[in-house]
Structure 1
Amino acid sequence: MLIRHGRTALNAERRFCGGRSDPPLDARGREQVAALRERFGGELDGLFCSPQRRALETAAVLGPATVVETLRELDHGALEGREIQPTLAEHADFFRAWQRDPTKVAVPGGGESMGALATRVDAGIRSILDQLPGPCSRGQVIAVVGHQLAWAAFVCRALGRPLRDWPQFELRNASANLLAFDGARWSLLGRKL
């Protein structure tokens, strides 16, 4: 289960909040994650999260989590912290190229491409699978708390979809994509909001 962190002030203000930002959850985010235990509760066979504060705070409601450094959000480069709407117009050429195929298009100002993000997060998920005491088995529940674009990139890669399809796997704050892994293939079971 890939859980997106609760809301932060940057999310509420509709600002880019990526790998360089480390805001805490806001009051609404804390309310959202308080409900996570009920929605995603039960015995977990493993709990992992990104090293960023918003993910750590979100995971804490579910139990002690193992931090996986490679699960950080996309590095938004020069866009980090900026308001989304005016930035879309200011960097229109970048966003048009990103929409066509974000695989190799890096965010301006030293940011990452979606392809680099997908490769990094895929390595993080593989390291999680390697840390499990045995092979994934039917009914084993692993929760991983992270970020919007990181999860969308991973789901595209896991399902063999082009990265330009990432908006189909967008998550609201404190919601999850449910996936299954049979040791060879991933499948998307659904979304839990």
Structure 2
Amino acid sequence: MQIYFVRHGRTQYNIEHRFQGGNSDSPLLASGIAGGKAAGRRLQAVDFAQVYSSPQKRALDTAKYIVAENQWQPTIQIEPRLREFNFGTWDGMREEDVVPQSQMALLLHHPAEYQPELAGQGESYAEFVERTTAAVHDAVALAGVDNPKPILMVSHGLVTTMTIKALLGIPVAKFRDPLVIDGQELPTIGHGIVDNDSLTIVNTTDNQQFGIETWNETDFLAH
């Protein structure tokens, strides 16, 4: 079974370095729309068993652009557990404006030590990946691990990156560390997150052990 992960297209909040978590949304920029369409062209010949999207508009719009290009025209299923990390009252704020900045540093560099109750409330990394990995496990179980058709999940930067790391068995403390597979450090953008509109493909044969086939693919965005 393959699981395809696509991060939503670029938004104004991305440019402004604002927290864009589970309680905030910013519409796709023109480049984000173009990226969603490009991802759709990249995946147009893939016959998906199921297509899931976060309920947030930036992700759902991206999913719609992808499906519009797909020759099979699959139905998009809303999966609430794919909602982005909940930053609480920090959502919508510029990174440089949140207090205390000490918790901001822990959020970005020492995830196991981040304490949301001392920041904007919201959720911890452990709580976050508990719900997102459950969504993946349930989707794989529903489709069947032997299904030759893959699953598509359109969501967010942290959902994609941290969910995959959790599925790989990486502990929370190392979620922000570079991801190294077979001695090679895999590319990311700031603080270890995959790019907007990027494609990452994960596989599993038993819904317990997971491996990476494709990581943060963006070549199709230049075409």
TM-score of the alignment, normalized to the shorter chain, above 0.5: yes
Contact 1:22–1:52 at 8 Å: present in 2 too?
Answer: yes
| 2:119 equivalent to 1:116 | no
What is the CA distance between 1:157 and its match in structure 2?
1.1
CA distance in 1, matches of 2:122, 2:137: 24
Counterpart of 2:37 in structure 1: which amino acid? A
Cα distance change on mapping 1:102 and 1:151 into 2, 3 Å: farther
Question: Aligned partners of 1:14 and 1:188: how far apart in 2?
Answer: 29
| 1:104 to partner: Cα distance | 6.0
Describe how 1:11-160 pairs up with structure 2 within 5 A: 11-42=14-45, 43-63=47-67, 64-87=75-98, 90-98=99-107, 99-102=109-112, 105-106=115-116, 108-132=119-143, 135-137=144-146, 139-160=148-169
Q: Contact 1:105–1:114 (CA<8 Å) still a contact in 2?
A: no
CA distance in 1, matches of 2:94, 2:20: 10
For 2:211, the equivalent position in structure 1 comes to 187
TM-score by length of 1: 0.88
Question: What runs of 5+ residues in structure 2 fail to find an aligned partner?
Answer: 68-74, 179-191, 219-223
Contact 1:106–1:114 (Cα < 8 Å) also in 2: no
Match of 1:62, SS state, is helix
Deviation at 1:127, TM superposition (A): 2.2
Is residue 10 of structure 2 the alignment partner of residue 7 of structure 1? yes
1:82 match: secondary structure: coil
Q: CA deviation at 1:92?
A: 2.5
Distance in 1 separating the partners of 2:205 and 2:21: 31
CA distance in 1, matches of 2:111, 2:95: 19
Instruction: Tell me if the contact between 2:22 and 2:85 (Cα under 8 Å) persists in the aligned partners.
Output: yes
Structure 1: gaps of 5 or more residues: none
Give the residue type in structure 2 aligned to 1:55.
Answer: A
Deviation at 1:110?
1.9
Cα deviation, 1:114-167, whole Å, max 9, x if unaligned, reads 1110001011112212332xx223743211000111122211210111223334
Percent of aligned positions with the same letter in both sequences?
25
Deviation at 1:57, TM superposition (A): 0.4
User: Is contact 2:132–2:159 with CA below 8 Å preserved after alignment?
Assistant: yes
Determine the C-alpha separation between the residues in 1 that align with 2:149 and 2:104. Answer: 39
Shift in Å at residue 22 of structure 1?
2.5
Distance 2:155 2:16 in 1: 20
Larger deviation: 33-42 or 68-77? Answer: 33-42
Confirm or deny: 8 A CA contact 1:103 1:115 kept in the other structure.
no
Q: How far did 1:29 drift?
A: 0.9
Residues 189 and 105 of structure 1: CA distance in aligned 2, closer, same or farther (over 3 Å): farther
1:17 is aligned with what amino acid? Answer: Q
1:38 deviates by 1.9
* 1:178 matched to 2:188: no
Structure 1 residue 105: Cα displacement:
2.6
In structure 2, what residue type is equivalent to 1:177?
Answer: T
Aligned length: 189
1:94 and 1:164 map into 2 onto residues whose CA distance is 15
